[in-house]
């Protein structure tokens, strides 16, 4: 039996109806932008394995740093203890985060970083004797699959069984130049109730909502309104963080900075799972007290795992390097040139780009996880390109080190795919 067959005996895959999709491709190796399956076929990883391996798979620089750390300190409790990788990482990260971010809290994945942010925001008010029990989130948002992050996610097609157990959320439309006055009015009215503890958003790009993009200046205006009313603003940069938008963080495009930021995915360059929730001094100060109960009693066993912290530090070294910046610009230019080639194609409805994220909507209706979408996915894979369409949206978010040749292959296969319909 090959791996694909053995997989079926015990393994339960994420976001999968196993009766309809029993087979999972076995990937046995990855290097740079390439994935290798058990039969030796290669695939260009056009989505950086869910936006994680932005510096390339099995990046030697990161691996060497993590391997060296592995021989020194593997794991230690982070409550009551600290260690060099955590301290060094914090100093490096502070150099690239928006200046108002001052404290770093650890967890293990994007969803938990959002749960931590929500709990921080709720307790921020609680500690000051204010009862605020609602959160504003955007329509079509996706923030993860734990209860807190699922509550603020608007993309809840499959959340039916849990809806009665979720937090209380008010939703506003994603702002654009047409609806902004209306959105702003609703937002201000909600805030005027005094019940809103936090406003959470994916800045600039809503990833799971098929790379929906919206203007920084409109979001910034909403943040201003929120912050004037002491509403905690949470930027979920799990997807957008670490250079994907063309700056280190999407929040760098905002005039008004968030109070809290959620980071994961390419935080460790895809080497190990880890997540951070960072916050401003103002948030931290609301927990800093002689009373123990005002502290933040949230903790994960693997908080600040030394290997994860080392991978983050190494990833930041790469992110700020001249080489990676040049690569990012190169990809942005290649995407823009591809856009010129494709945007008038009769099968293409719209295209959009932010940084190295490029997306196009087909002129064809497709279910998010329907047959047509599956056919498209299979076509890409058969042609050696790993792209996962979201409904009728095809998007490309390649590792920064993807070569021009590999990019051209991705674009060519997309163009060929348009002939399928
Ligand atoms: C913006 C955003 N937030 C949170 C998450 C959840 O992250 P994780 O899958 O690591 O729990 C995702 C995952 O795609 C995401 O895109």
What is the number of the ligand 1 atom nearest to the C-alpha of 240? 1
What is the number of the ligand 1 atom nearest to the C-alpha of 145? 11
What is the number of the ligand 1 atom nearest to the C-alpha of 207? 16
Cα of 265 vs centre of ligand 1, distance in Å, is 8
Give the strand pairing for 393-396 and 357-362. Answer: antiparallel
Tokens representing 403? 């070569």
Cα of 291 vs centre of ligand 1, distance in Å, is 34
Nearest CA owner, ligand 1 atom 8: 110
Tokens representing 73? 């300190």
Partners of 138 in beta bridges:
172
**CA-closest candidate to residue 247, choices 103, 96, 407, 99:** 96
Nearest CA owner, ligand 1 atom 16: 239
Partners of 352 in beta bridges:
359
Partners of 198 in beta bridges:
135, 232
Residue 35 sits at φ, ψ, to 5 deg, of: -110, 140
173 CB-near residues (< 8 Å, 6+ apart): 138, 139, 179, 182, 183
Pocket of ligand 1, beta carbon within 6 A = 109-111, 114, 142-144, 202, 207-208, 236, 238-239, 264
Cα of 55 vs centre of ligand 1, distance in Å, is 19
Q: How far apart are CA 181 and CA 179, in angstroms?
A: 6
Cα of 241 vs centre of ligand 1, distance in Å, is 11
Contact (Cβ atoms closer than 8 angstroms) between residue 358 and residue 351: yes
Tokens representing 214? 């919206």
Nearest CA owner, ligand 1 atom 9: 110
Q: According to the model, what pLDDT value does residue 251 have?
A: 98
Condensed to tens digits (0 to 9), the pLDDT of residues 11-70 reads 999 999 999 999 999 999 999 999 999 999 999 999 999 999 999 999 999 999 999 999
Contact (Cβ atoms closer than 8 angstroms) between residue 245 and residue 205: yes
Cα of 197 vs centre of ligand 1, distance in Å, is 22
Cα of 53 vs centre of ligand 1, distance in Å, is 15
CATH 3.10.350.10 matches 3-59+322-418: no
Nearest CA owner, ligand 1 atom 13: 144
Contact (Cβ atoms closer than 8 angstroms) between residue 386 and residue 47: yes
Nearest CA owner, ligand 1 atom 4: 143
Mutate to test the pocket of ligand 1, among 265, 272, 274 (most ligand atoms within 8 A of CB): 265
**CA-closest candidate to residue 85, choices 305, 278, 299, 265:** 305
Instruction: Identify the segments of the chain with pLDDT beneath 70.
Output: 156-157
Nearest CA owner, ligand 1 atom 10: 110
CATH 3.40.640.10 matches 73-319: yes
Cα of 111 vs centre of ligand 1, distance in Å, is 6
- Domain parsing of the chain, residue ranges: 3-59+322-418, 73-319
Mutate to test the pocket of ligand 1, among 53, 110, 114, 244 (most ligand atoms within 8 A of CB): 110
The 3-state secondary structure of 37-63, one letter per residue:
ECCCCEEEECCHHHHCCCCCECCHHHH
The 3-state secondary structure of the chain, one letter per residue:
CCHHHHHHHHCCCCCCCCCCCCCCCCEEEEEECEEEECCCCEEEECCHHHHCCCCCECCHHHHHHHHHHHCCCCCCCCCCCCCHHHHHHHHHHHHHCCCCEEEEEEECCHHHHHHHHHHHHHHHHHCCCCCCCEEEEECCCCCCCCHHHHHHCCCCCCCHHHHHHCCCEEEECCCCCCCHHHHHHHHHHHHHCCCEEEEEECCCEECCCCCEECCHHHHHHHHHHHHHCCCEEEEECCCCCCCCCCCCCHHHHCCCCCCEEEECHHHHCCCCCCEEEEEEHHHHHCCCCCCHHHCCCCCCCCCCCHHHHHHHHHHHHHHCCHHHHHHHHHHHHHHHHHHHHHCCCCCEEEEEEECCEEEEEECCCCCCCCHHHHHHHHHHHHCCEECCCECCEEEECCCCCCCHHHHHHHHHHHHHHHCCC
Global confidence as pTM = 0.98
Cα of 14 vs centre of ligand 1, distance in Å, is 13
Q: According to the model, what pLDDT value does residue 105 have?
A: 98
Contact (Cβ atoms closer than 8 angstroms) between residue 132 and residue 122: yes
Mutate to test the pocket of ligand 1, among 111, 140, 151 (most ligand atoms within 8 A of CB): 111
Cα of 421 vs centre of ligand 1, distance in Å, is 31
Q: According to the model, what pLDDT value does residue 156 have?
A: 65
Q: How far apart are CA 43 and CA 409, in angstroms?
A: 11
**CA-closest candidate to residue 66, choices 241, 318, 258, 260:** 318
Cα of 416 vs centre of ligand 1, distance in Å, is 30
Q: According to the model, what pLDDT value does residue 241 have?
A: 98
183 CB-near residues (< 8 Å, 6+ apart): 172, 173, 175, 218, 222
Cα end-to-end distance, the chain, whole Å = 36
Tokens representing 296? 């933040």
Tokens representing 418? 């348009």
Q: How far apart are CA 206 and CA 246, in angstroms?
A: 16
Cα of 221 vs centre of ligand 1, distance in Å, is 25
């Amino acid at each position: 039996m090959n791996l694909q067959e053995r997989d079926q005996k015990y393994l339960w895959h994420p976001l999968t109806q196993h009766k309809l999709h029993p087979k999972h491709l076995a990937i046995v190796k990855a290097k740079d932008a390439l994935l290798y399956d058990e039969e030796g076929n290669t695939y260009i990883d056009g989505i950086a394995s869910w936006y994680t391996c932005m510096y390339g798979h099995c990046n030697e620089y990161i691996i060497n740093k993590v391997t060296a750390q592995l021989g020194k300190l593997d794991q230690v409790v982070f409550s009551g203890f600290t260690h060099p990788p955590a301290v060094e990482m914090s100093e490096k990260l502070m150099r690239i985060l928006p200046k108002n971010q001052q404290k770093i809290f650890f967890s293990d994945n994007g969803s938990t970083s959002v749960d931590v942010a929500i709990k921080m925001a709720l307790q921020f008010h609680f500690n000051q004797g204010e009862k605020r029990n609602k959160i504003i989130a955007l329509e079509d948002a996706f923030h993860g699959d734990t209860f807190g992050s699922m509550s603020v996610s608007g993309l809840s097609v499959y959340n039916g069984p849990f809806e009665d157990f979720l937090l209380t959320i008010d939703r506003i439309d994603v702002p654009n130049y047409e609806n902004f006055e209306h959105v702003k009015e609703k937002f201000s009215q909600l805030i005027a109730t005094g019940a809103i503890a936090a406003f959470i958003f994916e800045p600039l790009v809503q990833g799971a909502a098929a790379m929906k993009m919206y203007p920084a200046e409109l979001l910034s205006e909403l943040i201003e309104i929120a912050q004037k009313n002491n509403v905690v603003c949470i930027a979920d940069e799990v997807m957008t963080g670490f250079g994907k938008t063309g700056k280190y963080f999407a929040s760098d495009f905002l005039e008004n900075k968030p109070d809290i930021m959620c980071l994961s995915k390419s935080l460790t360059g895809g080497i190990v799972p880890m997540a951070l929730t960072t916050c401003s001094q103002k948030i931290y100060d609301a927990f800093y007290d002689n009373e123990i109960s005002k502290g933040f009693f949230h903790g994960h066993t693997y908080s600040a795992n030394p290997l994860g912290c080392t991978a983050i530090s190494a990833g930041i070294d790469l992110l700020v390097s001249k080489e990676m910046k040049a690569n990012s610009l190169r990809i942005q230019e290649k995407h823009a040139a591809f856009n010129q080639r494709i945007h008038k194609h009769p099968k293409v409805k719209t295209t959009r780009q932010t940084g190295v994220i490029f997306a196009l909507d087909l002129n064809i209706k497709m279910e998010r996880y329907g047959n047509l979408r599956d056919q498209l996915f299979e076509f890409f894979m058969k042609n050696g390109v790993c792209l996962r369409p979201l409904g009728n949206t095809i998007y490309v978010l390649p590792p920064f080190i993807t070569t021009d040749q590999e990019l051209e292959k991705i674009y060519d296969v997309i163009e060929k795919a348009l002939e399928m319909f």
